[in-house]
Amino acid sequence: MQGIRTLTVVGGRDKSGAPENVRLELAAGSITAIVGPTGSGKSRLLADIEWMAQDDTPTGRTVLVNGERPDASARFSLRDKPVAQLSQNMNFVMDATVSEFLRLHAECRLSEITNYELRITGLTDEIIAQANRLAGETFTADTPLTALSGGQSRALMIADTALLSRSPVVLIDEIENAGIDRHRALSLLVRNEKIVLIATHDPLLALMAQQRLIICNGAICRVIQTSEAEKKALEELEKTDLRMQELRQRLRTGQVIAVND
């Protein structure tokens, strides 16, 4: 199940029962944005993909892996779960430090690899370093998980998913609410050849994707490929976003903002 080259979503029906006339193929290393009004069905699409739906969810969608239906053992495997989902709300309740948590995860994944003690140490250090590049405020290996903010928790799990998780499909729900470096986060995930889908209201994130799915009344009603004109628009939006980040940082550090800043 880990050798997922493509994921195909075969349409089911919308909230009114009308056919969802779509067959969408997603390839490894791609980013797809999911956009639409609140309540339109973005999270339902993510859930269908997470469960590799086989016409057994409210939407009637079917998800194919490498063009074929996955068997039940692959769909419901706990050890080799093919899909990792990062939700809007992420809070740790585990009484452990960041390093202890990452080590536990690494030991589960790398126990059959030779010299895995050295590999675990290197991986945990790299995950923490990458997470701190994403988060607004840094943390250390000794930081308790319960002391992490929502943004830090999301940054840690994105880095963990990119560098350690074997799940080849990553689903992200509204990353813009986490206060992290969105561009760096997506680049880190795609660099590791994962299929990334992200539900978002953020125009920057939507335009960073190769395509975006428009959700209407519970169904995919349109698929838009990101055009060259939109990529140029993204460059201008990123300049504005960088300026906003600078102003936010000044506010956080107690500086005064003037009209001409």
Statement to judge: residues 254 and 217 lie in one domain = no
**Same domain (yes/no): 12, 129:** yes
pLDDT of 102 > 50? The answer is: yes
Q: Is residue 1 part of a domain?
A: no
What pLDDT score was predicted for residue 89? 61
pLDDT, one tens digit per residue, over 111-162 is 554 455 656 778 888 999 999 988 878 899 999 999 988 888 888 988 888 8
Which is more confident, 28 or 248? 28
65, 79, 86, 252 alpha-carbon torsion, rounded to 10°: -140
Task: Tell me, yes or no, whether 122 and 238 share the same domain.
Answer: no
Query: Alpha-carbon distance 80 to 2, whole Å?
Result: 7
Residues 218 and 239 in one domain: no
Q: Is 25 helix (H, G, I), strand (E, B) or coil?
A: strand
* Class of residue 118 by CB neighbours under 10 A (exposed 0-12, middle 13-18, buried 19+): exposed
Q: Are residues 63 and 39 in the same domain?
A: yes
Give the CATH number for residue 123: 3.40.50.300
Shared domain check, 246 and 195: no
**What pLDDT is recorded for position 205?**
87
Percent of the chain with pLDDT over 90: 45
Structural domains counted in the chain: 2
DSSP assigned state of 13: B
pLDDT exceeds cutoff 90 at 250: no
155 inside domain: yes
Residue range of the domain that includes 258? 228-261
Instruction: Express each pLDDT in 143-153 by its tens digit.
Output: 999 998 888 88
Stretch 42-54: mean pLDDT, rounded? 93
Q: Is residue 30 part of a domain?
A: yes
My answer on whether 203 and 242 are in the same domain is no
pLDDT recorded at residue 241? 83
Kindly state whether residues 239 and 184 are assigned to the same domain.
no
The average confidence (pLDDT) of the chain is 85
- Do 49 and 26 reside in the same domain of the chain? yes
In the structure encoding, which two tokens stand for residue 187, read together?
């680049």
Residue 64 inside a domain? The answer is yes
